[in-house]
Amino acid sequence: MSEWVNVGTTATKRTGLSALIGAAFIMATSAIGPGFLTQTAVFTQQFKADFAFAILASIVLDIGAQMNTWRVIGYTGLRGQDIGNRVLPGLGSVIAVLIVIGGLAFNIGNIAGAGLGLNVLFGLNVKWMAVVSGIIGILIFLSRNAGPIMDRFAQILGGLMILVVLYVMLTSHPPVGRALAASVAPSVGYNALMMPMITLIGGTVGGYITFAGGHRLVDAGITGKENLGRIAKASLSGVLITGLMRVILFLAILGVVAAGHTLAKSNPPASAFQYALGNIGYKFFGLVLWCAAITSVVGAAYTSASFLRGFGTWFRDHQAATIIGFITFSTLVFVLYGQPVKVLVLVGSLNGLILPLTLLTMLIAAANRRIMGEDYRHPVWLYVFGIIALIATAYAGISSLGNIASLFH
């Protein structure tokens, strides 16, 4: 089953386009998980219209991180761990281990979110609904056409999420003009919004998410100098899809908060949907939560498995089996032990350290002719973008050490 995701270099234009769009959606839907929904709701309640500045700034920096990473991966046709090992022997293996551990832990949370989403929709047991969600994820990778199926799955559910949240946004009547003004001139000042901005960056392009779309293009055979333009458009599309979802979710919740409602601490995004549309809004939240969670399950499992390929021929020859095992293990851990909160917090903090490490690796590789070839020239503007994103994410990583320390008090 080693070629289950390979579209091949002789693929039709239609199939290639589907893989490009699929890569963008895989990256976007990997970022849009249960934490994405809660994070956006909490910060909107706290900062109201001023949160628009953090969203806009994070989107700009996300572009810097993603476009640099996808360009290096796409041009070389190498996966992230292989590039890391060429920069410094063993570095890629270290990155792979960190990303796989982080992806596994977060997938337990994603499975939990998928179970909760179906529970909201149908009122059935959360753990049984998590099992159903895990089975749906596994079914995708039982097919020899898993790559195209995964692309379409991400596109359909990603589009559905956007449409549902857009409807809630239009219903909640947010103060759009106030949000637009705050996006460039927040009333609380720029310093107050630094931490929310950095948190958004880590949640959007942290850990395995940075590589999800780039690795999909490598598997689809869309690599090399001749594809750089298409790769750049796909990477930008992934960030913009994520940004669009963040913006309309923010506006939907801002409309609720601006109307004077206080979001429930137990489940802020669910209460926002409920305030906007009543009981049907709560059901809509269940649908959005399930779509967000199950697509993140697929994205995390796929990308983590792609990093295991460097640890032996078995993983390269049995990628589908690796992904299925990944999803199965995540589901069993949640069903048997519940959501391991401390583990998730710990790994979330470690993921804050992974992003600057991986971005630094990509920037070093981009300037290394031994890796990129004698004829390659990395755009200066993109390099500057990458350095700014690196500084911001390094600050986020250092800040995340406080979360690790708090676990031992």
- Distance between CA atoms of 160 and 347, rounded to whole angstroms? 30
155 touches 315 (CB < 8 A): no
Backbone phi and psi for residue 152, each to the nearest 5 degrees, phi listed first = -65, -40
- Distance between CA atoms of 103 and 222, rounded to whole angstroms? 25
Q: What is the pTM of this model?
A: 0.88
5 confidence band (pLDDT: 50, 70, 90): very low
Q: Which two tokens stand for residue 392?
A: 């911001």
Q: Which two tokens stand for residue 335?
A: 């069903």
CB atoms within 10 A of CB 319: 23
Task: State the pLDDT at residue 10.
Answer: 41
| Residue 322 vs residues 72, 134, 152, 276, 308: alpha-carbon distances, Å | 26, 14, 21, 42, 9
Give tens-digit pLDDT for 356-406. Answer: 889 999 999 999 999 999 999 999 999 998 998 888 878 766 765 665 555
- Distance between CA atoms of 149 and 167, rounded to whole angstroms? 27
What's CA 294's distance to the chain center, in Å? 12
310 touches 80 (CB < 8 A): no
As a whole number, the mean pLDDT across the chain is 87
Name the residue among 162, 159, 168, 195 with its Cα closest to residue 54: 195
Of the listed ranges 87-96, 211-220, 240-249, 340-349, the one predicted with least confidence:
340-349
Name the residue among 264, 216, 269, 265 with its Cα closest to residue 246: 269
Name the residue among 134, 139, 148 with its Cα closest to residue 17: 148
The number of CA neighbours under 13 Å toward the Cβ of 82 is 16
Task: State the pLDDT at residue 401.
Answer: 63
- Distance between CA atoms of 5 and 173, rounded to whole angstroms? 43
| Residue 19 vs residues 11, 96, 133, 141, 223: alpha-carbon distances, Å | 10, 24, 24, 16, 12
- Distance between CA atoms of 263 and 388, rounded to whole angstroms? 34
Question: Which domains are seen in the chain, by residue range?
Answer: 13-406 (1.20.1740.10)
Name the residue among 200, 267, 259 with its Cα closest to residue 32: 200
Task: State the pLDDT at residue 369.
Answer: 93
Give tens-digit pLDDT for 322-341. Answer: 999 999 999 999 898 875 45
| Residue 162 vs residues 28, 284, 389: alpha-carbon distances, Å | 11, 12, 26
- Distance between CA atoms of 363 and 375, rounded to whole angstroms? 17
- Distance between CA atoms of 43 and 403, rounded to whole angstroms? 18
The number of CA neighbours under 13 Å toward the Cβ of 213 is 39
CB atoms within 10 A of CB 32: 32
CB atoms within 10 A of CB 375: 7
205 by DSSP, 3-state: which? helix
Task: State the pLDDT at residue 392.
Answer: 80
- On the question of pLDDT at 2 being above 80, the answer is no
How much is the average pLDDT of 79-89? 96
Q: Which two tokens stand for residue 104?
A: 């596994």
- On the question of pLDDT at 22 being above 70, the answer is yes
